[in-house]
Each structure stands twice: as C-alpha cells, then as structure tokens.
Amino acid sequence: MNVLDNIIVSTRLRLARNIAGLPFPHKLNEMSARKIIDNVQNALAPVDKFSRYDMNNLSAIDGTILQEKHLISLDLLKDCPFGSVLISADENVSVMVNEEDHIREQVILSGLSLDQAYDRVNRIDDVLGKSLNFAFDGRFGYLTSCATNLGTGMRASVMMFLPALTIQKMIDGCINDVGLLNMTVRGVYGEGSDAEGYLYQVSNQRSLGMKETDIIDSVNGAINHIVDAELKARQLLMRNEDRLKDEICRAWGIVTNAYRLSTEEAMRYLALVRLGQHYGYIDVSDLNVFQKLITDCQPANMQKSGGYSMSADERDVLRARHIATALTSFCKKTV
C-alpha cells in the first residue's frame, strides 16, 4: 500500500457560481429560489441520475447524514430554508443550490485526485453554463457572494490524516508554513470545526488572479510539504516505539471489545488504529472502507441505522458493536 494512502484521505473540488441579474441567495424570495433549483435540476438531467433534497422537506437526521458525508455544508443545512442539493448516484458529485452562492458544484474523490476531480467538476460546470447565464466580469472573473471566491470561484481541498504532527505538537508550525503559500487548514467539517480523528482539510485561500491550474499546482505544493512533515513526525514517534505500540494496541483492544463508544472515543481510537497501519502493527486491507466506517459511526448515521427513537446511550452501544464487527472484517492486529 502506498505510504500516501495513509495520509491523503480524499480530494474535493468546488466551484462557486451565481446567475446574472439575480440577487444573492440571502436576498432571494421563495419563488425565485425554487426556479433556480428547478433550472439546475433540468440542466443536470442529461449528465447523470441526480437525487434532489430540498432542505425544508428534509428531516434533521437525514440532513445531518448528508453533512456527515460532506455532501452538503452546515450552512446549507441550518441557514438556507430555500436551499437544495442534487446528488449523483455514486455520491461523488453534489450540487448545492441557494447556499452562500446560487450554485456550489462539488466533486469528492478518494486519495490525491486533484486533476481527476477538476476534470469531472469542469464537465458539470460546462453543462450548467450552457443553460444558465453565470455572472461573470472581465476583470474580476466569476462573481461570488464572498470576495475570497472571486476569479475562478474554485476551492481545491484535500483531506489529510495528520496524527503525528498533532501528537508531536508540530501542527501549528506546519499550518503557519502553508499559510505563507496562501493555503488554509481547517477541521474535518470545514471552517470552525475541530480536527476530529486528526483529520484536516487543506485548501487554497483565494482564487482571484489565478488560473485553475495555478490553484491545483499550489495545493499540490502545500500537500507535498505537509506530507514530508508528517512522515518526519512519524519517525519521531518511533523514538519511543514501545509506548507507541502500546497505545495503538490498546486502541485496537478497545474498539474491538468495548461495550459502548461515544463518537469522540471512536474517532480517537480509530485514528490510532489507522496510524498502526502505517507502522505495520495493524493490517488494513482497504483504507476506503476504513474511512466509510468513520462516516458510518457519526451520530446521525448511527441514529438512522439503529432507529430514530434511540437514546444517546443506545447509540453508543450500537456504535461499539458496529465498529467491532466491521473492523475485524477487514483489519487484523499483527503484533
């Protein structure tokens, strides 16, 4: 297994677009907002089979599940009553409508896949651009609600697993370094969120005055810097290998035998198990399946799989049982 596979989790490419002549979403009335959603849905129909979810018709749990899968933003879920999302059959493409901008096109792929993700989101953008009149200025590029998205309107981000930098308390220095490259580092669910399970999102801070290829190159450069720093930090952890091995094996023992696990406990112990794969202490046959397990054990996903009436305690019991069963089907301890 490639060493990058245990550091790079996924890639996301997002394009922000608005329709010329219309106010930004927070100023739209319901009729205009619904018309935009219908127009986007109709434009996407020839591309793929997209499922539509209107926020005002979505239960809190179902909406949170989409957010836990990174298919929608927390803002769309909480603050956009006339918002909607269209999601492709493979769930790699989601198009949010009437969030901060009229349209947020997004592609998520596993691993480091910036070029592939850009190709796919660009094809979606071409299709939408043929039937929708995007707001564009010759000087400023695509016009967006937030000035940081002006220009290409593109945000390229990579989800990274950085346990060693965090444990060694070197993460702040690394964040400062990539900040000099016009990059920003956020938690697992974006701005304002925590880096649960040592997961961080690294993305470009601006798009004005840059080409799409420039943004991809700059993100790649930042990712290479962080990967090098993480690998060096993992070598430092090996200075006390007995302690490291003990912590990872204890984590394995807990997640495969615990009667109940909170979300926070599950994220912490699963992160250590994933780190154990790097050192050869744990054999993980499929890291994509491992990442899906992390999503599946989030609160809303657990709540739906076990029944909407479950208490928090019952959910913790179900989470422990689910993790133990799933984990032992594709992982094994080797020390």
Task: Dump pLDDT digits (tens) for 24-56.
Answer: 999 999 999 999 999 999 999 998 899 999 999
pLDDT score recorded for residue 94: 98
Tokens at 122, concatenated: 């660009």
Nearest to 45 by CA among 111, 109, 103, 131: 131
Mind listing the pLDDT tens digit for each residue in 311-320? 999 999 999 9
Q: What is the pLDDT of residue 193?
A: 55
Instruction: Report pLDDT for 307.
Output: 81
Q: How confident is the model at residue 192, as a pLDDT? A: 53
Best CA proximity match to 204, nearest among 162, 166, 149, 163: 149
Domain positions in the chain are 240-333
Q: What is the pLDDT of residue 145?
A: 93
pLDDT along the chain (335 residues), means of 10: 86 97 93 96 94 94 94 93 95 97 97 96 96 94 92 96 95 90 80 77 90 94 95 96 97 97 96 96 95 95 87 95 96 94
Q: Given this model, what pLDDT does residue 306 score?
A: 86
Q: Return the pLDDT at 212.
A: 94
Count of H-run helices and E-run strands, the chain: 12, 12
